[in-house]
Amino acid sequence: MSDIDLKDRVAIVTGGSRGMGREMADAIIEAGGRAALMTPEADELEQTVKEIGFHRGADRVMGLPYDISNYRQCEQAVADTLEKFGALHGVVNNAALGQLNVIAPGAEDTNCKFFEADPQRWAQVIRVNVIGTYHMCRAAIGALKAQGWGRIVNVTTSIGTMQRSGNSPYGPSKGAIESETLVFAADLDGTGVTVNSLIPGGAARTKFVPEAYYTSRDLVDPSVMRAPIVWLFSDAADGQTGGRYVANRWDYGANDPSLAARAALEPPVFNHPPKGRLD
C-alpha cells in the first residue's frame, strides 16, 4: 500500500460485508478514512463490522443493513452515514447479483443461455446491478455536489465476461454499468465529483463463483482492489473521470501512485475516449 492519506474521508461501500467490498472498505479505513458497509445480509454485516472495528477502531466503521434495489433504503443509508460520520465523500458500487442467482446456489458452473433463464430471476439481477447502482449514485449525489468533491466507483467486469455466451444477465448488467459510468461522468463534469469503473482483472475468489472454480481456475485475490480504491479516493485522482481501471495491472513498483494507476487504465468498453487523464 502507498503512503496515501485518506484522513477523515468517508465512503459507503455496497456489498461491503465480504469479498472485494470488504477489502476495499478495509483499505480505505487503513489509509485513514472511514467506511459504511452496506448489505441487506444483516448477520454477516454485523460480524464484519465487529471484526473490522476490532482491528481498525469501532469509530471508523459502521453497518448499513439496506438493499440497493430499494431507493428509499439508499436514501436512508446516506442519511445514516451523514449522521454518524458527519460527512460523505464517495460511494463504491460493489454490490451485485451474479449468475448463481439465475441458476441455483451450489451449481458447478454459471453458464445459462438467456432463453433458459427464469424471467423473474433474470430481471432481479438487472434490478439490483443496474438500477441499484443508479439508486446509490442518485441518493448520494446531493451531498457530493454540495461540497464540490466526491467519488463514485463502479465495480464492473472484464469485456470477455460481458460478452460470453451463457453469461446473461450478469454480463449485460455490467455492460450497462460501464455505460452508467461514462454517462454519469459526463453529467458531473465540472462538479468535482468523478465517476470511474474498477475491475479485478479476472474472476475473483469470492462467493460469486461456484466452489468448483476454486480448484479448476486461476482466480484473482480480492485484495487486488485495495491499492486502486485508495488512489481513486485520494486527491491524486482529482480530475480523473470516466476511466476504467484494472486492479491486477496495478504497478506496485511505481514510486508515484499515479504512475501505478496509468498502468491499470485501459480503454473504455464503448467507443468513447476516456476522460481519465494521467498526464
Q: What is the pLDDT of residues 170-195, one digit of tens each?
A: 899 999 999 999 999 999 999 999 99
Question: What value does the mean pLDDT take over residues 133-142?
Answer: 98
Structural domains of the chain, count: 1
pLDDT for the residue 160: 87
Query: 3-class DSSP state for residue 129?
Result: helix
Contact 261, 228 (CB under 8 A): yes
Q: Is residue 279 part of a domain?
A: no
**pLDDT grade, residue 210 (50/70/90)?**
low
CATH number of the structural domain spanning residue 165: 3.40.50.720
Query: 3-class DSSP state for residue 145?
Result: helix
pTM: 0.91
Q: Is residue 63 part of a domain?
A: yes
Contact 222, 78 (CB under 8 A): no
The rounded distance, in Å, linking the Cα atoms of 43 and 41 is 6
**pLDDT grade, residue 216 (50/70/90)?**
very low
- Whether residue 95 is predicted with pLDDT greater than 80 in this model: the reply is yes
Find the length of the chain: 279
Contact 29, 85 (CB under 8 A): no
In terms of residue numbers, what domain contains 188? 10-266
The rounded distance, in Å, linking the Cα atoms of 140 and 77 is 9
Q: Is residue 114 part of a domain?
A: yes
61-75, 89-103, 203-217, 243-257: range with lowest mean pLDDT = 203-217
Question: What value does the mean pLDDT take over residues 58-77?
Answer: 98
- Whether residue 249 is predicted with pLDDT greater than 80 in this model: the reply is yes
- Whether residue 274 is predicted with pLDDT greater than 80 in this model: the reply is no
Q: Is residue 90 part of a domain?
A: yes
Residue 265 region, left (φ>0) first, then alpha (ψ -120 to 50), else beta?
A: beta
Q: Is residue 147 part of a domain?
A: yes
The rounded distance, in Å, linking the Cα atoms of 62 and 57 is 10
Kind and range of the H or E element at 199? strand 193-199
